[in-house]
């Protein structure tokens, strides 16, 4: 991120003052290794989501509700800060008689889309958190990353966007990986299969969320709509948790600390570090690091919960990782 500075204009008729030499050396640019380490830390934080869901005192859906709810104050604060910064910039740069720039008002149609996006995000979060109780952390994280294969057909049917024909090859590879991981790897165990299906449905609803918010983020500042969207998501999750009969209120300080740690790591620290670091890395390299999230989740699952993956499951995971990376490259316009 780069920042710009403005010098104070001299008074009328005053002679310009000579520029004083800057005694401090210019800041050294950070190395690529620094940002790669930042992305790795972000991946480790994001993969902790399933860990906190498993150890939470309350149900998985209610846990997701608090994760989204705790993000609202941060998003609102960021939105206010960005608005004030934009106002100061506009005030300093406008000419005499020019009104300061104002944020566009949200139309009723866009309010509906924000709420709809919140409901899609709530469905994504509910299904994903429940899947952690039935399948491994690695599989839940991996299957939820199949969004590229879902969002391309959605854009075609909803907006007529052309589907790259080359996407067929990684899609076929992904189907092979799914067959190995879900069918051969689980032996059609009903409980394990249920978790994998829920994780796959997570990818569907997250793709719908991205499609709905695509236009909104072009018309409005991102944190502004994400605050409202997260609030709608939290409200929907609380309703679903109540319907399912989950406990909605932690009874111990440890229970609250788990929810706070979940919001601080997965919702705030992980996403913030990722969003910052990927700006300074090649997209192809950043995509590789993002795909390490299931690997980190597998390590957490093995160390904390004794979740072991067979060689068949590991081979299915490897094939899926290759197919997802291949699809992301194609969708980003690279060969």
Give the pLDDT of residue 93. Answer: 54
C-alpha–C-alpha distance, residues 148 and 291, integer Å: 13
The mean pLDDT value of the chain amounts to 82
pLDDT tens digits, one per residue of 160-188: 778 778 888 999 999 999 999 988 887 77
Spatial neighbors of 191 by CB under 8 A, at least 6 apart, are 134
pLDDT tens digits, one per residue of 212-231: 887 787 787 777 788 888 99
Q: Helix 311-331 to helix 168-178 angle, to the nearest 10 degrees?
A: 160
Give the pLDDT of residue 30. Answer: 63
| Mean pLDDT of the 183-203 span | 90
Give the pLDDT of residue 276. Answer: 74
């Amino acid at each position: 991120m780069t920042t710009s500075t403005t010098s104070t204009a001299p008074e009328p008729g005053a002679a310009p003052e000579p520029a004083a030499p800057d005694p401090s050396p210019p800041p050294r640019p950070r190395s690529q290794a620094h940002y790669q380490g930042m992305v790795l830390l972000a991946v480790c934080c994001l993969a902790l989501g399933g860990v906190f869901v498993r150890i939470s005192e309350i149900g998985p859906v209610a846990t997701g509700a608090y994760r989204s709810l705790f993000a609202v104050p941060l998003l609102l604060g960021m939105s206010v800060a960005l608005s004030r910064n934009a106002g100061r910039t506009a005030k300093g740069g406008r000419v005499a008689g020019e009104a300061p720039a104002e944020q566009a008002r949200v139309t009723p149609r866009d309010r509906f889309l924000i709420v709809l996006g919140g409901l899609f995000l709530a469905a994504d979060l509910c299904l994903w958190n429940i899947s952690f109780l039935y399948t491994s952390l690695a599989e839940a994280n991996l299957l939820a990353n199949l969004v590229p294969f879902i969002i391309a057909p959605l854009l075609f049917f909803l907006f007529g966007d052309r589907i790259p024909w080359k996407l067929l090859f990684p899609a076929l590879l992904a189907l092979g990986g799914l067959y190995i991981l879900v069918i051969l790897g689980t032996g059609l165990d009903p409980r394990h299969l249920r978790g994998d299906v829920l994780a796959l449905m997570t990818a569907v609803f997250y793709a719908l969320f991205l499609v709905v918010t695509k236009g909104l983020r072009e018309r409005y500042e991102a944190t502004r709509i994400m605050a409202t969207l997260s609030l709608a998501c939290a409200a929907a999750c609380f309703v679903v948790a109540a319907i399912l009969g989950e406990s909605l209120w932690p009874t111990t300080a440890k229970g609250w600390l788990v929810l706070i740690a979940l919001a601080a790591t997965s919702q705030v620290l992980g996403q913030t570090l990722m969003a910052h670091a990927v700006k300074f890395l090649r997209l192809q390299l950043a995509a590789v690091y993002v795909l390490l999230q299931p690997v980190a989740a597998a390590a957490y699952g093995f160390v904390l919960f004794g979740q072991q993956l067979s060689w068949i499951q590991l081979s299915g995971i490897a094939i899926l990782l290759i197919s997802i990376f291949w699809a992301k490259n194609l969708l980003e316009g690279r060969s």
